């Protein structure tokens, strides 16, 4: 069975989406190496509409970018979950318009490697509720934002098992947790 792995930038207070670009001052080569590894370890991406539109507007024009992930983003399958997206015309994009949870369960049953999710807070929240996410990898930044969309919504509960961790020179902490699925 394929695994769904979420990779996110987080503030120290758990915010993954906020209106400003708070994470950019922390970008380093060390963080780039982690992001590159996460991307290259992924065989497909699952994206919400907003993240998809941002990526589709940026990555197709990129080649040999500083972290070396443009070719990967542009070539692998991308499953975009949206009922409102007019067209998914970025190379190898497939739109999931209905029966999202059922379609993603089927996707996990197909042969292949990891399916990655970046950003896409609404999608992440839905898949956490449906018990479909297997691993969460976060880069926790040393900043408190005080508001914004958090990775875990109020009331979500699940045991996590620490799989990997690393403290970076810039104060960012990399954490990888496997979700202990309850039956």
Q: What is the largest CA-CA distance in the chain?
A: 44
Backbone angles phi, psi at 108, to 5 degrees: -65, -25
How is residue 127 annotated by DSSP? H
Residue range 4-179, CATH number? 3.40.430.10
Q: Residue 183: what pLDDT? A: 57
Give dist(CA 58, CA 56) in Å, integer: 5
Q: What number of H helices and E strands is found in the chain? A: 5, 10
For residue range 169-182, what is the model confidence (pLDDT) as tens digits? 999 999 999 998 76
Q: Residue 63: what pLDDT? A: 73
Query: Domain spans of the chain?
Result: 4-179
For residue range 47-77, what is the model confidence (pLDDT) as tens digits? 999 999 999 998 888 876 655 688 889 999 9
DSSP run (H or E) holding 49: helix 49-58
Residues 6+ apart with CB under 8 A from 40: 69, 72
For residue range 86-130, what is the model confidence (pLDDT) as tens digits? 889 999 999 999 999 999 999 999 999 999 999 999 999 999 999
What's the gap between Cα 150 and its chain centre? 13
For the segment 77-82, the average pLDDT, to the nearest whole number, is 96
10 Å CB burial of residue 50 (0-12, 13-18, 19+) is middle
Q: Residue 67: what pLDDT? A: 59
For residue range 121-166, what is the model confidence (pLDDT) as tens digits? 999 999 999 999 999 999 999 999 999 999 999 989 899 999 999 9
- Report the SS3 class of residue 140: strand
pTM of the model as a whole: 0.93
Q: How far is CA 55 from each of CA 72, 95, 106, rounded to the nearest angstrom?
A: 12, 15, 25
Q: Residue 20: what pLDDT? A: 80
């Amino acid at each position: 069975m394929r695994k769904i792995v979420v990779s996110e930038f987080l503030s120290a207070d758990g915010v993954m989406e906020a209106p400003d670009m708070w994470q950019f001052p922390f970008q380093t080569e060390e963080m780039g190496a982690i992001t590159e590894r996460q991307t290259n370890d992924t065989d497909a991406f699952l994206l919400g509409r907003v993240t998809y539109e941002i990526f589709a507007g940026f990555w197709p024009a990129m080649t040999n970018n500083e972290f070396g992930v443009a070719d990967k983003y542009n070539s692998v399958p991308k499953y975009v979950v949206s009922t409102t997206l007019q067209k998914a015309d970025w190379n190898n994009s497939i739109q999931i318009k209905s029966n999202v949870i059922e379609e993603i369960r089927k996707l996990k049953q197909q042969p292949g490697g990891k399916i990655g999710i970046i950003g896409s807070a609404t999608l992440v929240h839905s898949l956490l509720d449906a018990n479909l996410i297997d691993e969460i990898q976060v880069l926790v930044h040393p900043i408190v934002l005080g508001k914004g969309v958090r990775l875990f919504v109020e009331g979500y509960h699940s045991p996590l098992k620490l799989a990997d961790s690393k403290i970076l020179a810039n104060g960012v902490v990399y954490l990888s947790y496997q979700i202990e699925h309850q039956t």
